Amino acid sequence: MAAFRLAHLSDPHLPPLPAARLRDLAGKRAFGYLNWTRNRHKYHRRDVLDALVSDMQAQQPDHVAVTGDLVNLALDAEFNPARQWLEGVGGAADVTVVPGNHDAYVRATRHRFVSHFGEYLRGDADGAATHFPFVRRRGPVALIGVSSAVPTPPLMATGWLGHAQLTALETILAQLSREDAFRVLLVHHPLHSDGRAKRLTDSHQLLALLKRHGVELVLHGHDHIHSTMWFDGPERKIPAIGVPSASALARKHYPAAAYNLFSIERDGNAWRCEQTVRGLGHHDGIRELKQVRLS
């Protein structure tokens, strides 16, 4: 049987930012709007995002995971263009999405993400309901989606899962540990962060669940960098992989746009997973940056 190919991109921060009304820019959005107009619009580019997605689609992955931050300020006017972009990436059966902190930027529109993208984050057994965590089975892969997206005060970008989500996740992980599935946890925030302003505040509880029950792979975004961290599982270390913003030009310590492509297959009684990183080169468009065997 051919290997299952899972693509992963994150943080498209879909440009351009639509025109905002003055009444929309109160509180935290005022800070975000100034940051966008002064800085972020220079390095989040739609042409970069389109080139990256085109290259990804040319690789013909079996499924695509998008780990959040489709929008920027969660303005009402941002969600329809983001939906149109996502439909261009693929249909809801072929793409799985979890929200990021920018998708729940303020309380007034924190629920818009679920209402606009519900089919893309709905579990196979959940009918018309959308809730977290959810599970989608695709070939040998079980995609487990959680939401770390919560509104935060200005200058903060922390995430939080909460007791109810962690309790449900433990039940799911315990069940999947008894099944023959390559388990992939999708979350926006990384499981470890050096900065308090961007961390997952209940990461210790999540890491404890993973140590007890395990998954084969964790995919996240948020930090806009290439990242590989290893965490304890019940039998072996678990790789947690981050990726740069899908629309970004390189700046300072942030690399240019990239995506991951994972080749997953059975190798005897174990899983074999190889990671290919493709991204924007200095002068030669989208190209392969590296290959890594994870297991």
pLDDT exceeds 80 at position 292: yes
Span 149-156, mean pLDDT? 95
Please provide the average confidence, as pLDDT, over all residues in the chain. Answer: 96
pLDDT tens-digit map of 186-217: 999 999 998 889 999 999 999 999 999 999 99
Per cent of the chain over pLDDT 70 is 100
How would residue 152 be classed by pLDDT, with cut points 50, 70 and 90?
very high
pLDDT exceeds 80 at position 1: no
* pLDDT value of residue 161: 98
* pLDDT value of residue 37: 94
Each domain of the chain, given as residue ranges in start order, spans: 4-293
* pLDDT value of residue 283: 74
pLDDT exceeds 90 at position 126: no
pLDDT exceeds 80 at position 282: no
* pLDDT value of residue 206: 98
Q: How far is CA 243 from the centre of its chain?
A: 9
Q: Which CATH architecture has domain 4-293?
A: 4-Layer Sandwich (3.60)
pTM of the model: 0.97
pLDDT exceeds 80 at position 98: yes
* pLDDT value of residue 26: 84
Span 41-61, mean pLDDT? 97
pLDDT tens-digit map of 164-181: 999 999 999 999 999 999
Span 251-274, mean pLDDT? 96
* pLDDT value of residue 263: 98
* pLDDT value of residue 163: 98
